[in-house]
Structure 1
Amino acid sequence: MIDVLLITNKGDITTDFVIKQLTTSKAKFYRLNTEDILTKVSLSFNFHKNEFILSDNERQIKIDLLKIKSVYYRRPKLPNIDHNDLTNGEKKFILNEISNYLEGLYKILKNAFWISSVFSIREAESKIHQLQVAKELGLNIPPSLITNEKDFAIEFVNEFECIIKPIKTGFIEDQGNEKIIFTTLFTDKKELERVKHCPTYFQKFVNKTTDIRVTVIGNKVFSAQILSQEHAETKVDWRKAETIKLKYEKIELPETLINLCIKLTKRLNLNFGAIDFVRDEVGNFIFLEINPNGQWAWIEKQLNYNLSYEISKLLIDGKI
């Protein structure tokens, strides 16, 4: 009997770390790469017999979904519909049906323990919601404005030196290639004329001494300091370190901040969170955002935090 279901895609290396731990613990798990739906994998929801079955036709496995204890939700992808005899409209219809099919799977598994619920993740991805909750809890947040009103934007950038960043996704697809949208220092006020065309996220630029990534897993907190200010390229956004080897260090956070990080994830109904802070020149910890399904394997590799063990343990226990 399968106890743990991991929902992701074939290229998700992070899930491999968890699988290694689950295997060591001799847990009974199944990795569902959602691109395999229609080819290797099928889902059947039989309401007449009250049977909800995941079938792996290649491995000859049938899983009773009602007996799944825990779910690790990572990065599912829709399959590639490459049938030449289908129109683009028909392909779009099929993908929409598969998307709704997967939504049904998530609902059927609602009584399982999730890291984390897909519905909680979606709500928590809202930067507006994040900032509201973080402020209510007492976290320090920079002055922030999200708007498509030019006059408000002008007033804000006249008051503060600003960065701009996306409200939600950090990627844009251009001619089939996925490009990262980095946090950028705002310098050209003439660009404010374009604010009316797209909601824009302005935030006061913080003169930081370091970036901090906090990973919350259940009630445990793991903190990493990213020495981003040692290089000009990474002073605004440390993710620009494509050709630079950044240094990382473990860091002890104040107990009050640790508790606030746990409270934030709980308020957002998450069992995992990757939280970004910066530390300003006087030592204050400034909250930037929480990624409810962020990457963490790089921290495990850089600093030997046993994050995969902590995640696998929660999945095996089925509770915090």
Structure 2
Amino acid sequence: MHHIIMGHHQDPHSQYMMEKFAQRGLSAHLFETHDFPKAVQFTFSPNNGEGYLILNDGSRLNFDEIKSVYWRNFCGVTDESTKKNFTTIDDISARDSMACLRTWFDLNNQTTWVNGWQAYQHHKEKPLQLFKVKNLGVNIPQTYVGNDLDEIRRCYSAFGKSIFKPVFGGAHTEMLTDAHLESTRVREALTKSPITVQEFIPGTNIRTYVIGDKVFSAELRSDSADFREDEDVELIVIDTPPAIAEQALKIARCLYLNWTAIDWRRDSQGNYYFLEANPSPMFIGFEKKSGIAISDHLIDFMEK
């Protein structure tokens, strides 16, 4: 049986996982989806559900011989579908190629995905993610999503201290200030993109990794609004409270995640507030600082 690492050839986490599989003597192959169909071949028969990939290293992997896929990055396909090239050969080629890959993603066969297409599509709708998690009975900060400036100002007043960030992601979190809302550019900016405004929870950052039924947590001490910007963040391994571990497992199942990193804020009373669950979190730094072998637990899950 074979394992696939799906990601960029130069991505550190993809390369790290390839090395880890090699150390165990397991068959693992790196697949950058952008190589399809230019340098990768795909075959599938709807009559019997059989098919295979021939990767650019010449390896032929039958779908029923792929034990697991570690989805680090999705790189699109060789051609791109855009507004400018709509109905052109490149557009049709991109759609045809994506239809093939999505067929493989959704076969629902013996392959274990960490994580699958559904999880990644779900992650794009972060407001829906928050709503679904809130309906599990999990605390979330007071949150507004949209581009109505009057409502944003109302929430800013009601929430007290607030942060703002993109709805989809791609930029770091910032503290919301009077200057932001008084800027002459604010209305113009909101005609370009909605934002997420969220109550700032005083306290500390907690990150919880979930791998199957295993749960690991650490406190990330930082004075920054977004700890990812802080090079001096202090990592302290903690025991996950049983109630939070149970919530983390429920969140993972609700969001179709076999593995994830959940970011929380913990206030001074010990209450946890869910911020987001990432379907492809970075972990090398966490692994080195914490001593928790996330990569080994991942491979154990993919191998079982």
TM-score tier, shorter chain, comes to: 0.7 to 0.9
1:239 to 224, 228, 234: 228
Q: Which runs of 5+ in 1 are unaligned?
A: 171-180
User: Does residue 223 of the first structure (1) align with residue 217 of the second (2)?
Assistant: yes
CA-to-aligned-CA distance 1:183-236 (integer Å, 9 cap, x gap): 11111223553435422211012222x21111111111111211202xxxx2x1
Partners of 1:193 and 1:59 lie apart in 2 by 51
Q: 2:52 matched to which residue of 1?
A: 53
- Superposition misfits of 4+ residues, deviation over 6 angstroms: none
User: Does residue 183 of the first structure (1) align with residue 173 of the second (2)?
Assistant: yes
- For residue 116 of structure 1, what is the amino acid of its counterpart? N
8 Å CA contact 1:34, 1:79 repeated in 2: yes
Q: 2:235 matched to which residue of 1?
A: 248
Give the 3 Å change call, closer, same or farther, for CA 108–284 of structure 1 in structure 2. Answer: closer
Q: Which runs of 5+ in 2 are unaligned?
A: none
- SS state of the match for residue 69, structure 1? strand
Partners of 1:287 and 1:48 lie apart in 2 by 45
Q: 1:301 matched to which residue of 2?
A: 288
Partners of 1:279 and 1:316 lie apart in 2 by 34
Q: How does 1:1-320 map to 2 (within 5 A)?
A: 2-47=1-46, 51-56=50-55, 59-78=57-76, 89-108=88-107, 110-160=109-159, 161-170=161-170, 181-187=171-177, 188-191=180-183, 193-194=187-188, 195-208=190-203, 210-229=204-223, 234=224, 236-241=225-230, 244-317=231-304
- SS state of the match for residue 4, structure 2? strand
Partners of 2:99 and 2:151 lie apart in 1 by 39
Q: 1:173 matched to which residue of 2?
A: none
8 Å CA contact 1:70, 1:114 repeated in 2: yes
Q: 1:178 matched to which residue of 2?
A: none
Give the 3 Å change call, closer, same or farther, for CA 267–47 of structure 1 in structure 2. Answer: closer
Give the 3 Å change call, closer, same or farther, for CA 197–77 of structure 1 in structure 2. Answer: closer
CA-to-aligned-CA distance 1:224-258 (integer Å, 9 cap, x gap): 211202xxxx2x111222xx332211112211111
Report percent identity of matched pairs.
24
295-304 or 259-268, which moves further after superposition?
A: 295-304
- SS state of the match for residue 6, structure 2? strand
156-165 or 41-50, which moves further after superposition?
A: 41-50
How far the C-alpha of 1:90 sits from its partner, in A, is 4.2
How far the C-alpha of 1:300 sits from its partner, in A, is 0.8
How far the C-alpha of 1:80 sits from its partner, in A, is 5.7
- For residue 268 of structure 1, what is the amino acid of its counterpart? L
CA-to-aligned-CA distance 1:15-38 (integer Å, 9 cap, x gap): 233333322333233221223324
How far the C-alpha of 1:159 sits from its partner, in A, is 1.2
8 Å CA contact 2:38, 2:78 repeated in 1: no
TM-score (norm 2): 0.86
8 Å CA contact 1:78, 1:98 repeated in 2: no
43-52 or 283-292, which moves further after superposition?
A: 43-52
